[in-house]
Amino acid sequence: MKFTHFDEKGNARMVDVTHKERTERIAVASGKIKVSGEVFEAVRKGSAAKGDVLTVATTAGIAGAKRTWELIPMCHILPLTGCAVKWELDENNFEIKCRCTVRCTDKTGVEMEALTGVSVALLTVYDMCKSMDRTMEIEDIHLIEKDGGKSGHFIREE
């Protein structure tokens, strides 16, 4: 297997996508944070001391996706055309699940942007609720689906 982020001498490099075709790209990633019952209720009711946790975390996730290129050195700057962060509250397990969908039309995919969006959104939940529970656990961040480009359509099998 050839590693694309290294040149023939083993030096790190950004992949040159100059000659690739622009195509519609989409990526969907998800993850979750396990919280205490107290945190779960505060998030559900919007009564956390720092405010509406999921609204702030949604905004943070979108901002994180847009700035992925600043955080991950070999990522290209991509003009995102869409980014959505959605939440699901699992009251049986006190888990807050996050899903981030990112779109663009460009020469490289948006998997890292979707994964970054989920990560930043979940970190924001932690930040806004840490005064109530420092034992929260962020886990299971992964790519669910990607489409566009030469490698085609990928859907993760559960």
DSSP string of 75-141?
Answer: PPP---SEEEEEEEEETTTTEEEEEEEEEEEESS--HHHHHHHHHHHHHHHHHHHTTT-TT-EEEEE
Catalytic site residue 7? no
pLDDT score for 2: 62
pLDDT for residue 1: 55
Q: What is the pTM of this model?
A: 0.92
Rounded mean pLDDT for each run of 10 residues along the chain, 158 residues in total? 69 82 96 97 93 96 98 94 98 98 95 98 98 97 94 90
Q: Are 151 and 138 in contact (CB under 8 A)?
A: no
Residue 95: its pLDDT value, please?
Answer: 98
Looking at 7, 16, 127, 147, which residue is catalytic? 127
Identify the pLDDT of residue 15: 82
**Domains in the chain, please, with CATH?**
29-155 (3.30.70.640)
The pLDDT of residue 119: 98
Dig out the tokens for 154 from the structure. 């990928």
Q: What SS3 state is found at 59?
A: helix
Predicted local distance difference test score (pLDDT) of residue 3: 64
Residue type, 35: V
